[in-house]
Each structure stands twice: as structure tokens, then as C-alpha cells.
């Protein structure tokens, strides 16, 4: 069966290569406006975070205290501000909508060019760095997460606002909805859906703080008492 699927996929690719006019609209949108997909923004965010995390760990091994402290601070703030909430937004919204009706978010025709492993790399595997960061923090009790809740909320709000403005601007200027689910919604429903995503991100962010900063809160309460 796998061989048959590969042959069908190969024949489809050859057809689109020989006859460019037969290329589905989904592929035209992906090739022209791919940088506007929130999934790609999040994946890029993960790559940046992992480079910072690797640099941080290398500085710890080499005992370069001055740079390590700065990297650690950036790493922790980036993780709770954007990395954790944005990754969980992508994973939760994508797979919920996908299982309801995949045509609303990831049309089946995309499988012709994008294999399943790529889909899981972008929408499932992004949870692995989150798990590793949280587990490593729980194992190493000497690390304390000192990220600011206030700045984290400001960064997340600004990040999602910029994306949403670009997303809606793309439709107003080009007449294209990157995610088909928006085609079925009225403008009030689109705004509510956007606010829902924002609320979801804030909720995930607060869960991250509860997981990574419980001791700091306990100490603060004891001082007040």
C-alpha cells in the first residue's frame, strides 16, 4: 500500500510539473504566502529558542558565567512568553479542527506534495522541546525560572496582534484566507475566533508559569505573611 501511495504521489507531482496550469490553488497559496502561516512562525520560533538553549547549555559546560546568565534569562523569558503558548495553540487548534474536518485547515490534496511526517513535524513534534524544557527544569532543582509575567503577557499580546493584523490584511489586499476555516465564518465570528485563540494562548502561558514558578510564588507568600 505504501508503494502504491508513493507512485500516486509521484505521478501527481509529475503532472503538476509538466502542466503548471493544473497546480491546485492550495499549492499556489503555500508557495506564495507560506511565510504568513502561523505554523511557520511557530516553527521558526522553536528553531531560535533551541539555538539559544544550546548556547546556554554550552556556556554552562564551559563555565562562562557572564554570557550564560544573559542567555538563561532570554531563554526563560522567550519560553514562557512565546514558545510555550504559541506551540500549544498550533497543536491544539490544528488537531481539533483536523479531526473535525481536515479540509478546514489542512486540505487532503496537500498530502500529494507534503508527506505525513512533515505534517507531524510541524504540528506534533513541536511539543517535544516543550516537554524537554519543563522536565529538565523539574529534574535540575538548581535552576529557577525568573521570567516576568507582565512582560510575558505583553510579548504574547504584541506577537499575536501583529500576526492577526498581517493575516487579515492579507485577505483584504489579496482576497485569500490561508486557513479555509475562515471562509465559513462571518466577520464577527472571525474576530471571536481570534480572541478565543488569544485567550487560549494566555491560558497556556499561565499554566507554564504555574509549572515552572511554583516555588517563587510560595516564597513570596511567606514573605508577605
Domain ranges, ordered by start, for the chain: 2-18+34-218
In this prediction the pTM is 0.84
* pLDDT on residue 5: 43
Average pLDDT over residues 44-56: 95
CA-nearest of 215, 224, 207, 219 to 87 is 207
Average pLDDT over residues 157-180: 95
Confidence tier at 138 by pLDDT (50, 70, 90): confident
Percent over 70 (pLDDT), the chain: 83
pLDDT, greater one: 58 or 17: 58
User: What is the distance between the alpha carbons of residues 179 and 26, in angstroms, rounded to a whole number?
Assistant: 10
Amino acid at each position: 500500500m505504501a508503494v502504491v501511495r508513493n507512485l500516486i504521489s509521484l505521478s501527481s507531482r509529475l503532472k503538476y510539473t509538466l502542466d503548471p496550469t493544473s497546480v491546485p490553488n492550495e499549492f499556489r497559496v503555500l508557495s506564495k504566502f507560506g511565510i504568513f502561516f502561523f505554523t511557520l512562525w511557530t516553527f521558526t520560533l522553536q528553531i531560535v529558542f533551541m539555538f539559544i538553549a544550546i548556547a546556554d547549555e554550552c556556556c554552562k559546560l564551559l563555565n562562562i558565567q557572564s554570557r550564560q546568565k544573559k542567555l538563561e534569562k532570554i531563554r526563560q523569558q522567550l519560553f514562557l512568553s512565546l514558545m510555550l503558548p504559541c506551540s500549544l495553540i498550533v497543536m491544539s487548534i490544528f488537531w481539533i479542527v483536523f479531526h473535525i474536518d481536515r479540509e478546514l485547515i489542512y486540505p487532503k490534496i496537500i498530502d500529494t506534495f507534503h508527506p505525513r511526517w512533515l505534517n507531524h513535524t510541524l504540528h506534533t513534534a513541536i511539543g517535544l522541546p516543550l516537554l524537554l524544557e519543563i522536565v529538565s527544569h523539574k529534574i535540575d532543582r538548581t535552576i529557577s525560572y525568573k521570567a516576568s509575567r507582565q512582560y510575558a503577557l505583553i510579548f504574547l499580546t504584541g506577537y499575536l496582534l501583529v500576526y492577526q493584523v498581517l493575516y487579515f490584511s492579507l485577505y483584504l489586499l489579496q482576497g485569500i484566507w490561508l486557513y479555509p476555516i475562515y471562509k465559513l465564518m462571518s466577520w464577527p465570528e472571525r474576530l471571536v475566533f481570534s480572541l478565543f485563540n488569544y485567550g487560549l494562548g494566555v491560558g497556556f502561558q499561565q499554566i507554564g508559569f504555574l509549572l515552572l514558578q511554583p516555588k517563587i510564588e510560595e516564597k513570596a507568600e511567606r514573605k508577605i505573611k
